[in-house]
Amino acid sequence: MCQFFSFITDGMGNPYYFNHEQRKERGFNNECDSHSYIAEYFKPNKFDKRTERADDVVNKYEYNPFTKKFVIDQINILGDSKQAEKWIRKLDFSIIEPRIDFNKSFKEPLEIKHGKEVSEFEINLLREWYQLGNLLREPLKWQLRDQLGYPLRGQLGDQLWVQLGDQLGDLLGDQLWKQIGDQLWDQLGYQFKDQLRNQLWGQLYSFATTFVKDFKFKDKKQEDLVNCINSLWSYGLMPFKVGNKLCLYTLNTCEKIYEEKICKK
């Protein structure tokens, strides 16, 4: 599957891609990052009669503007990967998606390491997360969708998913969901799966809001909850309510390093 951001070249270093306005005209369809669709639309080598398929006479590339990872998907004609990489690393991504802050400092959550010791400050953040309500999945999902104008499907969750639902999800979510989710289910058993899925998705959406320019929270409590989650993530920790316990898991290993019983007031 093609990922955001996809582009093609003509073998001479000339790039072809869909900018923000072109994506908007197409309803931010996933096809805007399909190499075949881009090739069929622009037909950069339309006079090449070796094949009827436009995507057989172009080179295909992908680039993650968060992680800065450049991928050579397929070379079909003259190799121009050096020119392509030089161009994409200088591209101003505001012309692709102006609502996302691609210049924001980014560190992949799965690479953040945390030791086995937990500080009192981190424990207090866990308690604050629980007291503030701990679940954010649905309200944040629809706020992100409304403010960005189209579904946040994959940008957050199926890498956090490539069109901002498919751009931030794929860029930030599938990867997290697959690696974290599967490990949690294995460790805790499937009786907690639905409960933990909602909690994890709430955290993924919280992480995504930090990349949305001028994200509008519905109230101060929601903003405090998102800030609490993102603070824990910055330390490499995930908060969870499992049964009658509050737990902290490490992001990079999914190891439980702290738990306490919930105190009923």
Same domain, 119 and 179: yes
pLDDT at 159: 36
Same domain, 65 and 158: no
pLDDT digits (tens, 9 = 90+) for 52-67: 677 788 999 999 888 7
Same domain, 245 and 194: yes
Strand residue runs (E) in the chain: 6-9, 15-16, 59-64, 69-74, 237-242, 245-250, 256-261
Same domain, 170 and 233: yes
pLDDT digits (tens, 9 = 90+) for 56-99: 889 999 998 887 889 999 999 888 999 999 999 999 998 988 88
The tally of domains found in the chain comes to 2
Same domain, 87 and 114: no
Same domain, 122 and 21: no
pLDDT digits (tens, 9 = 90+) for 171-211: 444 555 555 555 555 555 444 455 666 777 778 778 878 88
Cβ neighbour number for residue 215 with a 10 Å cutoff: 18
Structural domain harbouring 39: 6-95
DSSP, collapsed to helix, strand or coil, labels residue 155 as coil
Same domain, 196 and 151: yes
pLDDT, mean over the chain: 77
Same domain, 19 and 114: no
**For residue 202, is it within any domain?**
yes
pLDDT digits (tens, 9 = 90+) for 10-21: 999 999 999 999
